[in-house]
Amino acid sequence: MSSTATRDPSRSSIGTASSYLSNVSNFKIIESTLREGEQFANAFFTTEKKIEIAKALDEFGVEYLELTSPAASTQSYNDCKAIVGLGLKAKILTHVRCHMDDAKLAVQTGVDGLDVVIGTSSYLREFSHGKDMQYIIDTATEVINYVKGEGLEVRFSSEDSFRSDIVDLLNLYRAVDKLGVNRVGIADTVGCASPDQVAELVRTLRAIVSCDIECHFHNDTGCAIANAYAALQNGATHVDTSVLGIGERNGIPPLGGFIARMYAADKEYVKAKYNLGKLRDIENIVADAVGVSVPFNNYITGYCAFTHKAGIHAKAILNNPSTYEILRPEDFGMTRYVAIGHRLTGWNAVKNRVEQLGLPLTDADCKQITNKIKNLADIRPLSLDDVDKLLRKYGQAKEDNSHHAILENIDTPDQITEW
């Protein structure tokens, strides 16, 4: 058997050396659509919609759901309690400021854990809360001890980690790790970090703390998914996502995009862990709720994600889908589509459609029809319905040997449409 036949086509053959730090095959998702996602410009989730989204994400299999702080509003407090009361498999977290009042209010809702955060960069210390590092450590100690005393999970995260002083940052993480937090978090709050910078910080952090490491990456410069992957490669354990990546400004790693990246890294792990066929439904729920469309080029579920057009691509895909697909659409409840009504089409794609329709046409017939499609598509692309009409008309005409006239008498796509 050839090496091509035995190799997993979803895995790259380059740079696959494993690292003892890597958690690429051992990570957890903290799904933040109901927290970070509420900060999306168009977002307004009713209680009913939050419950629908929470149930859908739970069915997908995310390990954690992160909710807006109960201190944000009365309804936010009530929504926390409502989602806690659903009895979902996912653990319910809420995101709170490093402040005792916020922590006490959050504990009252019955959540499983608190994600505590405070700004640590010089920008945020000067222009946001105005506190020094000693104040941050002292306040963090008080809040963490309280949350732990209530028997809840606690994550402590710096905000704007990548613009914070590294010495201050590491001293803070050492201090909270000694207090027994479940996780420390790093946050690329403004989306300025690169994968190399992420790898370096996470490796450094992994060497000084014994707890888990959570990562929160914004997508302002297009690196959110790559940064999340780099973090896991270098010892991080938890990644924040949101459906369609919605959030403050350009948002954070989209759940679907992150899943696509991790599927390519370890397909069997991801397939076993998550209900991948539910992804499209979740995205449709959220897209409808915030008044946007799922992008045409969306990871996995965009209508172009598994559409093949160029003739060379189409031929290879029809012979072996792994030639031009790193993701198997059927694993996500999706199907591939080979577009054929255009000037770039090839006769193998046309032949495949002929076979799907059950028409008794030869290879020579398919080649002649392909040439006609190309000529017509120079005027405008043909719809699949147009192509099917042409193929069927040609097949019927073969019965009385008038099929050549069919092609000769068509000058524009509109003639087919009007049949």
Could you please report the per-residue DSSP string of 270-331?
HHHHS-GGGHHHHHHHHHHHHT-PPPTT-TTTSTTTTEE-SHHHHHHHHH-GGGT-SS-GGG
Nearest-CA neighbor of 214 among 225, 223, 202, 226? 202
| Tokens 């000058």 sit on residue | 411
Highest mean pLDDT: which range of 4-18, 190-204, 312-326? 190-204
pLDDT at 285 over 90: yes
What percentage of the chain reaches a pLDDT higher than 90? Answer: 81
Start-to-end CA distance of the chain, whole Å, equals: 50
Q: What is the mean pLDDT of residues 14-42?
A: 88
Q: Which of the four pLDDT bands, split at 50, 70 and 90, describes residue 10?
A: low
Q: Which of the four pLDDT bands, split at 50, 70 and 90, describes residue 164?
A: confident
| Tokens 């790790």 sit on residue | 177
What's residue 1's pLDDT?
44
Which amino acid makes up residue 170? L
**Residues identified as active-site:** 313
Nearest-5° Cα angle at 189, 183 to 193: 95
* Residue 288 CB-half CA count within 13 A: 11
Count of CB atoms within 10 A of residue 210's CB?
A: 8
Contact in structure between 129 and 109 (CB atoms under 8 Å): no
Distance CA 29, CA 31 (A): 6
Nearest-5° Cα angle at 18, 17 to 22: 145
User: 91: helix, coil or strand?
Assistant: strand
Contacts of 381 (CB under 8 A, 6+ apart): 341, 342, 343, 413
Count of CB atoms within 10 A of residue 67's CB?
A: 27
Contact in structure between 85 and 51 (CB atoms under 8 Å): no
What's residue 13's pLDDT?
59
Nearest-CA neighbor of 62 among 217, 332, 256? 256
Q: What is the mean pLDDT of residues 311-334?
A: 91
Q: What is the mean pLDDT of residues 183-202?
A: 96
pLDDT in tens, 36-94: 999 999 999 999 999 999 999 999 999 999 999 999 999 999 999 999 999 999 999 99
Q: What is the mean pLDDT of residues 104-125?
A: 87
pLDDT in tens, 375-388: 999 999 999 999 99
What's residue 16's pLDDT?
47
Lowest mean pLDDT among 98-102, 128-132, 309-313, 363-367: 128-132
Which amino acid makes up residue 15? G
pLDDT, the chain, mean = 92
pLDDT at 11 over 80: no
Nearest-5° Cα angle at 193, 192 to 196: 155
What's residue 160's pLDDT?
87
How far is CA 289 from each of CA 43, 84, 276, 384, rounded to the nearest angstrom? 7, 21, 21, 32
User: For residue 358, with 0-12 CB atoms within 10 Å meaning exposed, 13-18 middle and 19 or more buried, which class applies?
Assistant: exposed
What's residue 17's pLDDT?
43
